[in-house]
Amino acid sequence: MQRDSISYIFTVAGAVCAVCALLVSAAAIGLKPQQEKWVQIDTQRNILFAAAADDEERTKFKKMSGQEVSDFFAANFRNIVVDLATGEEVTDQYQGRLAQYRQIEAAELRKKDQYTDIPLELDYGQIKRRENHSHVYLRTDSTKRYVFPVRGKGLWSTLKGFVALQPDLKTAAYLTFYSHAETPGLGGEVDNAGWKARWNGKVVLDDQGKVVLTVVKGDSATESQVDGLSGATITSKGVENMMRYWMGEQGFGPYLRRIRQETL
C-alpha cells in the first residue's frame, strides 16, 4: 500500500482513532472509582452544610479535607433509605450499595420499577416523576438534624439541594443548593448565605403535618414566611413549590408523620 494513497491515509487515521478510543476508555474505567469517591464526598459536604449547628461550623466543614468530611459523616450521620409512598425505612434493601444508590437517576432515567409519574395537579415542583425510594440523612450527635434531598423547577433550571429540619420535624434549620442554573444576581441568589440563613427557625409544617411555609414578596411577617428573592419572583415561587411537594404527602410527608408518632 502506497504511503500517499487515500486508503493508506484512512487506514492510519482509523488505527490512531482506535488506539485513542481504547486509551480514553481505559482511563475512564480506571478513574471511575476515584470519581465516585469524590461525588460521594461532595454529597456528604453539602449534607454537612445543611445540618450544621451554625455558620461557624459550616466554615469548619468548608475547610475540611475530603477524608475529614468522610470521617465526620461516618461518625455523626446515619444514611437511610425510605419508601416515599409508605414512609417506611427500606435501607436493608440497599446493603452493600447504599452510597451508590442515585435516587435522581432512578427518576430521570426512568429505571424500571424505581420511579413514579407525578399527576400534573400534584406536581408542585414540576419534576414530572419522582423516585420511589429516597435517602434521608440523620445527624445523630448533640446537633440533631434530619436532612432531606429536594429539587424543583425554578425559572431556568431544576434546583437541587438539601433541606434540614430541626428535631421537632416541623421547623427548618437550613436550606442549601448544590446544582442550579438560575440567573446570577437574581434567582442565583438562592446561594446567597444571607438568604439561606433566613430559613433557620421558619415553620415548614404545622402540628397536623400540613405544609404551611411560603416564600413571600417583600418582608416576611410570620414564622412560616421567608422573604423572597428580590427580582426573582419565579425562582422564589419555585422554591416554595419545591418545599410544598417534598414536605407534603407526595414526598416525605408519610415518613415525617411516622417518625413524629414514634419519637415525639
C-alpha grid cell, residue 63: 475547610
Residue 201's CB is within 10 A of a number of other CB atoms, namely 11
DSSP class of residue 75 equals H
pLDDT of residue 27: 47
pLDDT digits (tens, 9 = 90+) for 204-230: 999 999 999 999 988 888 999 999 998
- The burial of 157, by beta-carbon neighbours within 10 Å (0-12 exposed, 13-18 middle, 19 or more buried), is given as middle
Average pLDDT value over all residues in the chain: 89
Query: 40 φ, ψ to 5°?
Result: -65, -45
**What would the pLDDT profile of 75-106 be if each residue is shown by its tens digit?**
999 999 999 999 999 999 998 889 889 999 99
Q: Is the pLDDT of residue 240 over 70?
A: yes
Of 62-66, 77-81, 218-222, 237-241, where does mean pLDDT reach its minimum?
218-222
Going by pLDDT thresholds of 50, 70 and 90, the confidence category of residue 31 is very low
- Measured CA to CA in angstroms, residue 42 lies from 37, 38, 93 at distances of 9, 6, 24
Question: What nine digits make up the cell of 241?
Answer: 413549590
Please state whether beta strands 158-165 and 145-153 pair in parallel, antiparallel, or not at all (unpaired): antiparallel
Confidence (pLDDT) at 160: 96
Give the model confidence (pLDDT) of 139-183 as tens digits: 999 999 999 999 999 999 999 999 999 999 999 999 999 999 999
- Neighbouring-strand partners of residue 255: none
% of residues, the chain, pLDDT over 70: 86
pLDDT, tens digit, 9 for 90 and up, residues 109-139: 999 999 999 999 999 999 999 999 999 999 9
Name the E strands within the chain: 77-83, 115-117, 129-131, 133-139, 145-153, 158-165, 172-179, 214-216, 225-227
C-alpha cell at 31: 478513574
Burial 19-38 (b: 16+ CB within 10 A, else e): eeeeeeeeeeeeeeeeeeee
